[in-house]
Structure 1
Amino acid sequence: MTGTVNIENTDKFFWHRYDAIYSDELLRLENVKKVIEFGVFKGDSVRWLNRQYPEAKIFAADILPIQAEWTQNKDIVYYQLDQDKVSDIKAFFGTTGNEIDLIIEDGSHFPQHQKNCLVIGMDYLKSNGIYILEDIHTSHPNHDYYIQQGKSENYISPLHVLLFIEHYMSNNAKIEESKIKELTVNSLFSFEEIKNLIENIKSIKIYRRSTLPKKCYSCGSSDYDYHVLKCKCGTDIFAEADSMTAVLVKK
């Protein structure tokens, strides 16, 4: 099936409003040959990537098998995997190979799954390649996904680790091993995983939506109650733990 490109129908555009981030950050990429996206949903984002990078192979991974509405052509490869299984992710990257230009992680959004893809995926990016970790707000302590992780209060998630690395980088300070070890206590990360990220990451930018979504993801309406910053259906439209994404560039 060949679908139309309609990025406006994705939550990237109407809810998170990441479109401005994408248009700015992806300008640095040239001669793109390999792109990965975790999370296919209805396939609009994959179609958009296929249009943006017509010379690239698009590898799209999802827990679902291929759906009828997903575009199929010679430049798009679908792979079924479970982000909770490290073996699945490693097998997937075994098929893609390295020297990847762009990885977009927009899958389950569970902090553990974000961590699994991040620590493995960074090794497969080419130098100056970009890793976009969408919806990292699910690692915020006030988000339900963070709370549901099953850890005790204030555990170290992907958001914590990336904020830590960015903080030291912005101060041009050396990260001592003792500080890394502190982040392995009550944490999703091991010492080696954090150290590897530090060695791989050239720059980090973390964005948070500072405006209202164009429309509600729950009911599709843009009829908001501005007194309480909620949609008329009751959905929060300006929550603290919402619409954050991290853009990483590899050394």
Structure 2
Amino acid sequence: MKPKMSKKVISGIAIGCLLLSLGGLVLAKDAKATSESRPQSAFQTCRPNHGGMEQHFNSSLAALVEKGTITQEQSDKIASFFREKRAEHRANREEMKNSLPGDRAAKAQEFRKHHQQLASDLAAAAGLSDTQAKEVLEALRPPQMHEKMGERITVKLSELVGQGTITQDQSDKLLAFFKEKHAQRQAEFEKMKGMTEDERKAYLDQKHHISHSDRLAELAAAGDLTDEQAKLVADALRPEHGPKQGPHCAPEAK
């Protein structure tokens, strides 16, 4: 089966991918503080299923089946996988409530390691290829995430200008940089439409191997920033509470 990439998947992470990568630059220094002060957030494998999220989850899986990206059997296994993850999340939260600060930090670190394996765990549980698993995870992300991130970038950069961290000229250059990245993502989508699954996987893997330091240097060059300014911008644009890589939770079993 040859999965089909949807335009929504690519454009939906146009700015998000870069921000998540930049966010990784500053996550390490406050990971311990985060795990001790907000232990429950560290165990947010899949996000709470509030209004509309269940519908988004079900409709996204149905669309993937209709397009031939996955089979109905795989869709059922995916739903079961996230129901189990949701139950694990609840159990972990209860366990964390009664843990000492040192134990919470250790548990949070262990969870982060498991969180990073979400795509491979999903692939194994539902019989998906690596490429299919990545496409499923992207399809299950909240809709219109790229628009919300675009608005957030504008607000955060405006705040940095107001604080004197960067100039308005630098802010304008950064906005142009992110818009260019968005256009590049759209061009990549067009390029990948004619690729085989193996070719897409190799292409995406190559893209993901860009280091955080290289991305930071790219940001500094684009905005005419000093290294210190680039780090401050990356910190300000980091998604709140760290990057949430997983999709919303599957609905409860009836």
Structure whose residues are more often helix by fraction? 2
Rg comparison, structure with higher value = 2
Q: What TM-score, normalized by structure 2, do the two folds share?
A: 0.24
Q: What TM-score, normalized by structure 1, do the two folds share?
A: 0.24
Structure whose residues are more often strand by fraction? 1
Larger relative contact order, structure 1 or 2 (CA cutoff 8 Å, min sep 6): 2
